[in-house]
């Protein structure tokens, strides 16, 4: 936590430090902090794991202080939270919100993204969220609750879009009427009618501009709202005075025109732009929505011997969770009993479901393909693997590229300069322009203010980052930050995931080998007949292959699944076995001449299933995740750019090597677990490569 001192400009901060093992560690940290410019006092306690610091915020910030602690080999305990921000309209708003957040004692860093309308705030333990919300509210904006769900944020955004739509329709309708009336010949009370019609457009639909401009004025700054409010007000109030005192602006006997249509149309068009912008912002979060969609809403747990369905948010560490075939696993855990085959492709990239037995770890968001099982929850809520992936994407979308920081700085000076130019324009036209000088001066003053709205400065880069990182996430590419996206042109090595990137992500029958006097079609027909009612992905692939060949399947009887081995059943009076080599050995079935073919297929990284008919091996069916159309061409295109292409996967080495050879990949990193992939990237970076993982 941090606090401001009563006297002087110094601030105090208490930082929890982890990693200390003795009092010498505390002394080392204390010495390092005292050597940091701007730190006046530092007292580090090993017993309480706290560093009490007094510092001058004009010379050093908390980010530098926590960085100094981490450079010494220790960890400063901070929290990083993402909050929705409402009311921002341009890059100047971003700067004000960031300044407000950074001014809260205890805030280490604040990063605000206009396109996503989110603030990523890192702060010390003990810093209260209401303090952050109060600071942002005083700046003229609203900081939402960190715990807001996607549904809450989406609902709020939809309400905002609906309100904007209604105001756009209202403003556009009245503006159109005002424009038509302005062009028709004069009739009694026409000026008063135009005034009446323009007033609700100016002060009801345009109220948000006045509110924003007032908030900026309170903080002695200006933003896009200031430009619109000043510009439209100039046209509106000039016209109002001309209606009430028509002779006041008369020049050489000619009455000047009314410009209610100018103010009304400008407000309607700006609101239309805001509406389209709000809709576009809602669409940019599709990647996050898809990731969150992987998390089930409910979980079935067993308490006191009774099954009950509860919200997944209410699952506690240690709860016994029941998962049935086809259901998504709600949280991370350890399998207690039962046997399962789990599709973990969203995490590991492994296209073939992984068999799970008691003691194995399961990951929330993955799919239980077959077999009911029970597991003990070990990580729930924000601690699950899926939640961490979602957070990574959110932080990447909320980050800033270096060029965006430059745009934010420019925009902070841009608006005051524009106002100055507009005032100068008015003066020049008023004193040097043609008659009627006031009309020309006013119109050009309004034109400069409205045309110069710095929307593009604030939206272009963050929107590009959101779309880029979002599309990357949808296609299995996690872009860690906006800076990484900007540095992409320096890449000389690309690290591709296998499943879903190079391959289709689903198994397909690639080879059928029949024993002598046995047809390949017969092998496929019998295998598909056995697997017809199975939910296993390999079984479904076999049935699909038979369907594509229009084979007529027979009814299977006495079906029996043997987890980890295969299945058995009776078809057309024959006793059939379909499974792996272990099943064949267990039933003492000789492979005869099929052994060499199996070795060849294994060498190609394929999954091999043997078909036994009446205790004799009669065929082989090989399955594999096949290369996507265009994958090899994409690798070749990267080669032409001088980029080395590598593949990283959780698959076994043989499967990975087979796919890599087919795609033309230069190097293969196989059997790499998700938690070790970052280590592999760092290793490649240490080799001097600029890597795109």
Q: Which of 297-306, 406-415, 507-516, 672-681 has the lowest mean pLDDT?
A: 406-415
Average the pLDDT over 202-224 and give the result. Answer: 81
Q: Which of the four pLDDT bands, split at 50, 70 and 90, describes residue 657?
A: confident
DSSP state of 549: T
Asked if residue 643 belongs to a domain, the reply is yes
Pairing of strands 332-338, 493-497: unpaired
Query: What element of type H or E holds 617?
Result: strand 616-627
Name the band, by pLDDT with cuts 50, 70 and 90, for residue 252. Answer: very low
What's the domain range around 237?
153-283+398-461
CA dihedral sign of residues 583, 586, 590, 595 = positive
pLDDT score at 442:
79
More confident residue, 639 or 144: 639
Q: What percent of the chain has pLDDT over 90?
A: 7
CATH of the domain at 659: 3.40.50.1000
Q: Name the DSSP class of 202.
A: I
| Known active-site residue 666 | no
CATH code of the domain covering residue 358: 2.70.150.10
Residue 32's CATH number = 3.30.70.100
> Do residues 262 and 162 share a domain?
yes
- Read off the pLDDT band of 200 (50, 70, 90): very high
| pLDDT for res 468 | 73
Residue 333 neighbours by CB distance under 10 Å: 27
Q: Are residues 253 and 301 located together in one domain of the fold? A: no
Q: Write the DSSP symbol of residue 655.
A: H
Structure tokens at 499: 């499943």
161 vs 640, residue with greater confidence: 640
d(CA 663, CA 645): 10
Q: What does the pLDDT look like over 322-345, one tens digit per residue? A: 988 888 899 999 998 877 888 877
Q: Is residue 604 part of a domain?
A: no
336 and 420 share a domain?
no
Q: Are both 447 and 346 inside the same structural domain?
A: no
Q: Positive or negative CA dihedral for 627, 629, 632, 638?
A: negative
Do 424 and 322 belong to one domain?
Answer: no
- How far, in Å, CA of 438 to CA of 473, rounded? 56
If one counts the domains in the chain, the total is: 4
- Looking at 76, 106, 138, which one is the last position of a domain? 76
Q: Tell me: pLDDT of 498 over 70.
A: yes
**What pLDDT does residue 9 have?**
65
Q: Which residue has the higher pLDDT, 395 or 299?
A: 299
The active-site residue out of 497, 572, 614, 625 is 497
- Give the separation between CA 323 and CA 342, rounded to whole angstroms: 11
Question: Which pLDDT does position 4 carry in this prediction?
Answer: 47
Query: Whats the size of the chain, residue-wise?
Result: 693
* 120 bridge partner residues: 82, 111
Is 279 in the same domain as 296?
no
How many helices (H) and strands (E) in the chain? 23, 28
Domain check: are 244 and 163 in the same one?
yes
Q: Which pLDDT score is estimated for 151? A: 55
pLDDT at 192: 92
Q: Is the pLDDT of residue 477 over 80?
A: no
Residue 663 lies in a domain: yes
Q: Is residue 198 part of a domain?
A: yes
Note the pLDDT of residue 427: 93
Supply the pLDDT for residue 201.
94
User: What is the mean predicted confidence (pLDDT) over 75-85?
Assistant: 84
Q: What pLDDT digit, counting tens, does each position of 159-189 carry?
A: 778 888 999 999 999 999 999 998 888 888 8
If asked whether residues 492 and 637 sit together in one domain, one would say: yes
What is the reported pLDDT for 80?
A: 82
In this model, does residue 236 exceed pLDDT 60?
yes
Say whether both 422 and 487 belong to one domain.
no
Check if the beta carbon of residue 478 is closer than 8 Å to that of residue 388: no
Q: How many CA atoms lie within 13 A of 461 on its CB side?
A: 23
308 and 244 within one domain? no
Cα torsion angle, 218, 224, 230, 232, sign: negative
Encode pLDDT of 143-157 as tens digits: 887 644 555 555 666
pLDDT of residue 682: 84
Q: Which token pair is 296?
A: 């089930």
The alpha carbon of residue 218 and the mean position of all alpha carbons in its chain are separated, in whole angstroms, by 34
pLDDT for the residue numbered 6: 41
What integer pLDDT is reported at residue 510 of this predicted model? 87
Instruction: Identify the band that residue 202 occupies on the pLDDT scale cut at 50, 70 and 90.
Output: very high
With respect to residue 15, please indicate whether it lies within any of the assigned structural domains. Answer: yes
Q: What's the Cα-to-Cα distance from 198 to each of 1, 175, 194, rounded to whole Å?
A: 51, 7, 6
Cα–Cα–Cα angle for 516, 520, 522, rounded to 5 degrees: 95
> According to the model, what pLDDT value does residue 180 have?
92
Average pLDDT over residues 89-114: 83
Q: Would the pLDDT of 556 be above 60?
A: yes
Predicted pLDDT of residue 173: 94
Q: Which residues pair with 4 in a beta bridge?
A: 11
Mean pLDDT over all residues of the chain? 81
Residue 688 has pLDDT above 80, yes or no: yes
Q: Could you tell me if 132 and 82 are in contact, meaning their C-beta atoms sit under 8 angstroms apart?
A: no
Q: What is the pLDDT of residue 259?
A: 80
**pLDDT at residue 199, rounded to an integer:** 95
Mean pLDDT calculated for residue range 577-603? 86
pLDDT band at residue 425 under the 50/70/90 scheme: very high
Verify that 65 and 178 share a domain, yes or no: no
- 276: in domain: yes
Is the pLDDT at 391 greater than 80, yes or no?
A: no
Q: Return the closest-CA partner of residue 623 out of 637, 641, 602, 653.
A: 602
Query: Would you say 381 and 387 are in contact if contact means Cβ atoms under 8 Å apart?
Result: yes
Same-domain pairing of 273 and 178: yes
434-461 average pLDDT score? 71
Domain presence at residue 525: no
Half-sphere CA count of 150, side-chain side, radius 13 A: 16
Domain boundary among the residues 76, 101, 128 is at: 76
Helices (H), 201-344: 207-218, 224-244, 260-283, 286-292
Of 76, 96, 123, the domain-final residue = 76
Mean pLDDT of 33-53: 86
Is residue 179 a part of any domain in this protein?
A: yes
């Amino acid at each position: 936590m941090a606090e401001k001192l009563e006297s002087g400009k110094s601030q105090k901060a208490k930082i929890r430090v982890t990693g200390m093992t003795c009092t010498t560690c505390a002394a080392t940290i204390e010495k390092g902090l005292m050597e940091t410019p701007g730190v006046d006092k530092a007292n580090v306690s090993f017993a309480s794991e706290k560093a009490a610091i007094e510092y001058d915020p004009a010379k050093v910030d908390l980010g530098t202080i926590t960085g100094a602690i981490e450079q010494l080999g220790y960890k400063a305990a901070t929290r990083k939270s993402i909050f929705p921000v409402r009311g921002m309209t341009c890059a100047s708003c971003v700067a004000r919100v960031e300044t407000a957040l950074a001014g809260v004692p205890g805030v280490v860093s604040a990063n605000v993204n206009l396109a996503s309308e989110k603030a990523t705030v890192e702060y010390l333990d003990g810093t209260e969220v209401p303090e952050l919300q109060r600071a942002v509210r005083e700046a003229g904006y609203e900081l939402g609750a960190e715990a807001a769900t996607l549904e809450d944020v989406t609902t709020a955004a939809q309400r905002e879009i609906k309100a904007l739509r209604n105001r756009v329709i209202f403003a556009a309708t009245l503006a159109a009427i005002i424009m038509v009336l302005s062009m028709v010949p004069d009739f009694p009370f026409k000026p008063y009618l135009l005034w009446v019609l323009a007033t609700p457009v100016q002060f009801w639909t345009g109220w948000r501009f006045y509110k924003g401009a007032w908030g900026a004025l309170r903080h002695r700054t200006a933003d896009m709202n200031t430009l619109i409010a000043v510009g439209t007000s100039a046209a509106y109030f000039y016209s109002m005075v001309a209606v009430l005192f028509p002779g006041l602006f008369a020049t050489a006997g000619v009455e000047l025109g009314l410009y209610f249509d100018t103010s009304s149309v400008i407000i309607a068009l700006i609101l239309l732009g805001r509406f389209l912008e709000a809709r576009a912002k809602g669409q940019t979060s599709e990647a996050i929505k898809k990731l969150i969609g992987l998390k089930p809403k409910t979980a079935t747990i067993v308490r006191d011997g009774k099954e009950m369905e509860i919200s997944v948010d209410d699952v506690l560490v240690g709860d016994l969770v029941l998962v049935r075939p086809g259901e998504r696993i709600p949280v991370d855990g350890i399998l207690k009993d039962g046997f399962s085959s789990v599709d973990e492709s969203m995490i590991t990239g492994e296209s073939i479901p992984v068999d799970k037995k008691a003691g194995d770890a399961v990951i929330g968001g993955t799919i239980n393909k077959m077999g009911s099982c029970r597991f003990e929850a070990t990580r729930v809520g924000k601690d699950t693997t899926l939640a961490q992936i979602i957070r990574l994407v959110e932080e990447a979308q909320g980050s800033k590229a270096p060029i965006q920081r430059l745009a934010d700085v420019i925009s902070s000076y841009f608006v005051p300069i524009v106002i100055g130019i507009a005032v100068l324009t008015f003066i020049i036209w008023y004193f040097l322009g043609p008659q009627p000088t006031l009309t020309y001066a006013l119109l050009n003053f309004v034109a400069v203010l409205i045309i110069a709205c710095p929307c593009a400065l604030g939206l272009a880069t963050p929107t590009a980052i959101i779309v880029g990182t979002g599309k990357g996430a949808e296609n299995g590419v996690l872009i860690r930050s906006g800076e990484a996206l900007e540095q992409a042109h320096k890449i000389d090595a690309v690290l591709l995931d296998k499943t879903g990137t190079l391959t289709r992500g689903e198994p397909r029958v690639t080879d059928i080998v029949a024993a002598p006097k046995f047809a390949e079609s017969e092998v496929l027909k019998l295998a598909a007949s056995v697997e017809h009612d199975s939910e296993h992905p390999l079984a479904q692939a076999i049935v699909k292959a038979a369907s594509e060949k229009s084979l007529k399947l027979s009814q299977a009887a006495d079906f029996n699944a043997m987890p980890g081995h295969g299945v058995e059943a009776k078809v057309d009076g024959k006793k059939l076995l379909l499974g792996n080599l272990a099943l064949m050995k267990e039933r003492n079935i000789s492979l005869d001449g099929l052994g060499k073919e199996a070795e060849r297929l294994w060498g190609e990284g394929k999954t091999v299933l043997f078909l036994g008919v009446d205790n004799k091996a009669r065929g082989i069916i090989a399955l594999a995740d096949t290369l996507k159309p265009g994958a090899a061409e994409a690798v070749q295109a990267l080669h032409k750019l001088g980029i080395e292409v590598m593949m990283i996967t959780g698959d076994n080495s043989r499967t990975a090597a087979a796919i890599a050879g087919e795609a033309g990949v230069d190097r293969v990193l196989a059997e790499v677990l998700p938690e070790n992939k970052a280590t592999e990237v760092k290793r490649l970076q240490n080799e001097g490569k600029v890597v795109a993982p």
